Amino acid sequence: MIPFANRFHGHNSLSFVYKNGRAVRSRHATIKFTSNPHRDQTRIAVVISKKVLKSAVKRNRVRRRIYEYMRSQLPKIQGVHDIVVVVSSAELFSIPSAELTAEFDDLMTQANLYKTSKN
């Protein structure tokens, strides 16, 4: 799990990212993100609708898998961002870890959230 300081707190933060953030989409998920100069650490949220996965156990498992991936990538993220991962497919529950990692690596690269060699 990611540290408490790297999590979203409150509905207004999510609505700010939804309103002002940019989006990068894949087959299974969407990453919405925006820069946040008022914070000193990157914050992350994972949103999974009941329409996507009915079972709370399955939603929580997908959420834990994504949080674990993001925790491992926190040192690579450049700057301070608010990142929301919106899950749009129930397939994330059963895909292998390597495939999940590859898909989210691709999303994070498309979003230009990783540090480059110049930074």
Tokens representing residue 41 in the block? 């650490």
Question: What does the pLDDT read at residue 2?
Answer: 85
pTM, full prediction? 0.90
Whole-angstrom Cα distance, residue 93 to residue 65? Answer: 9
47: which 2 tokens?
């949103």
Q: How far apart are CA 13 and CA 71, in angstroms?
A: 20
Q: What's the pLDDT score for residue 119?
A: 46
Amino acid at 77: I
pLDDT given for residue 114 in this prediction: 87
Query: In this structure, is the dihedral angle defined by the CA atoms of residues 105, 106, 108 and 109, taken in order, positive or negative?
Result: positive
Consecutive H or E run containing 56:
helix 56-73
Q: What is the pLDDT of residue 37?
A: 87
**What pLDDT tens digit does each residue of the chain (119 aa) get?**
788 888 987 788 889 999 999 999 999 999 999 998 888 999 999 999 999 999 999 999 999 999 999 999 999 998 899 999 999 999 999 999 999 999 999 999 999 988 776 54
**pLDDT tens digits, residue range 22-39?**
999 999 999 999 998 888
The confidence score (pLDDT) of residue 66 equals: 94
Q: Which helix (H) or strand (E) holds 46?
A: strand 43-48
d(CA 113, CA 76): 8
CA-CA distance, 101 to 70, in Å (whole number)?
A: 10
